[in-house]
Amino acid sequence: MHDTKDKLPEGAGAQPARRVRSLAALGEATTDLLIIGGGIVGAGIARDAALRGLRVGLVERSDFASGTSSRSSRLLHGGLRYLAQGRVGLVREASVEKTLLRRIAPHLVQPLGFIFPTYRGTDWPLWQLRIGVRVYDLLCSGHNFESSSTLSRTETLRRLPALEPNRLNGAVRYFDGLTHDARLVMDTLRAAAAAGAILLNYCEFVHAKRDGACWSCDVEDHLTGAQLHLTTRVLINATGPWGNRFPQSRVRLRLTKGIHCVLHRQRLPVPEAVVITEGRRILFIIPWGDRVIVGTTDTDYDGPPEAVRTEASDVAYVLQSVNRFFPGLAIGEADVLSSWAGLRPLLAKANGTPSDISRSHQIRLSQPGWLDVAGGKLTTYRLMAEQVVDRVLLELGRPRIPCSTAELPLLPPGTSVEFSGVQPPPLSEAAVRHFCTEEWAVHLEDVMLRRAGWEYGLANPASVARQVGAWMADALGWPPAVLADELEQYESAADHSLAAR
């Protein structure tokens, strides 16, 4: 995986002009706020703050969305299981956000039906789920994408013929949204840039010290090795799983790891998403084009966030759950095309199992001019950003400027969504050129894993990578040695692929 000590190789050509301009602009004048972290939370704050007229900078140590925000289950959801835990406020907040996101970014929110089969003698009785999905619909202010319903045993088996029939009672069917997490980040960043935010990937925030009413910050440009010196009035720590790594931060995190496996849909044919259970835990089988995404796990993690990987035991856990529900399909490790592993940056408030920990968020003024933002979900990123920018205005002593992100379309009118969306865009040179010139892609994996998701969505990703590499070489002026290096680094990256690809 391309990571922090990742300079452009000798002869890699000039830095893209846009990046050079951004570097100059950030060094030029004091920003109102400098956001550390280019995941969904940082991106959302950048857009909101720029729309409210603030001077905004954002630095990301690796690629945008390379942290948790490209490693989720990609669901925009209230979280049916949190309802079972009695967290009604949390479910309502996220439910409202999911419907709102569909309004402002319809190209990134695909309504998706979920079939939740229930069995006699388990933790999920049908009568309880019936009530649960009704309440779930109501919590979207009565505007869920479609109304939930109950399926008889016969109807459940008609829709899912390979489902284990023994002790099956029937199912409930409810609706949530499917998105593409990394695309949501990219489009939010495109909107932020259009509103005037200065955004830099492969730039690591290293250190800050208070200098009067400002912060004096050291940032390292990982593409050139240059050290940058920036000043800002407010610093926002939006680094997700890395959030407690700075001496100024006061967040306490509990990191839990979750993995997803990608399989051919032919091997696990589902007409829409399916919820399967492991005791009180739930896993999803999510259709995505001719693939299905299956996950996730939820286990405590205490290693360095950048080292998180899918282990064989994680895959075994996921496949065991699938095979309990679809025993006739005998899904094996060889069916797994690829996988990804991510870390939930949960607030370390409680003991209990990882699945019991709240997905709520926290915004904290930990030092004068230093805001930590932690926890939360992809689904609630817009709301988190709104609350953070409200605090920033207070900190800057500015009058309250109303937030507009709940109403404005995510992308400004006239912005192309040709190469965006929930499903992987078709492979094309035009798309690759767009990702390089308009979406800050500088390495092969930036396109394959995050801008397009072709690694997960297309057959023969290794040969797709060679084609994409050749197009990127053309767009970015890579000489042959750089292309060879990019391909080698991509092929050897172990975190996104398994042997079966």
Ligand X SMILES: Cc1cc2nc3c(=O)[nH]c(=O)nc-3n(C[C@H](O)[C@H](O)[C@H](O)COP(=O)(O)OP(=O)(O)OC[C@H]3O[C@@H](n4cnc5c(N)ncnc54)[C@H](O)[C@@H]3O)c2cc1C
Q: Which residues of this protein are in contact with ligand X, per CB under 6 A?
A: 36-42, 59-62, 66-69, 71-75, 77, 204-205, 238-242, 258, 296, 342-345, 376-379
For residue 294, the minimal CB distance to ligand X (Å) is 12
Q: How far is the CB of 470 from ligand X (least distance, A)?
A: 28
Neighbouring-strand partners of residue 214: 211
Report the residue number, 91 or 483, with the smaller CB distance to ligand X.
91
CB 205, min distance to ligand X, A: 4
Q: Distances from the Cα of 245 to the Cαs of 222, 240, 298, 372, 389, in angstroms?
A: 19, 10, 22, 11, 22
Nearer residue to ligand X within complex by CB, 222 or 233:
222
Torsion of CA 82, 184, 220, 7, to 10 degrees: 120
205-211 — which CB contacts under 8 Å span 24+ positions? 205/34, 205/36, 205/59, 205/61, 208/235, 208/246, 208/248, 208/370, 210/367, 210/368, 210/369
Nearer to ligand X, 148 or 201 (CB): 201
- Sequence-ordered alpha helix ranges (H) in 53-87: 80-84
Nearer to ligand X, 206 or 329 (CB): 206
Cβ distance to ligand X smaller for residue 242 or 288: 242
Q: Which of 411, 436, 379 is nearest to 193 (CA)?
A: 411
Instruction: Compare residues 154 and 320 and give the one whose CB is closer to ligand X.
Output: 320
Q: Which tokens sit at 126?
A: 């049908």
Determine the Cα–Cα distance for residues 472 and 64; give it in Å rounded to an integer: 18
**70: which 2 tokens?**
């490209």
Find tokens 């100024």 and name the residue: 248
Strand partners, 346: 254
Two tokens, residue 427: 């492979």
CA neighbours closer than 13 Å in the CB half-sphere of residue 478: 23
Question: How far apart are CB 68 and ligand X at their closest, in Å?
Answer: 4
User: CB-wise, 148 or 296, nearer to ligand X?
Assistant: 296
CB of 45 to ligand X, least distance (A): 9
Q: Tell me how far, at minimum, the Cβ of 263 lies from ligand X, in Å.
A: 17
| Shortest Cβ 389–ligand X spacing (Å) | 15
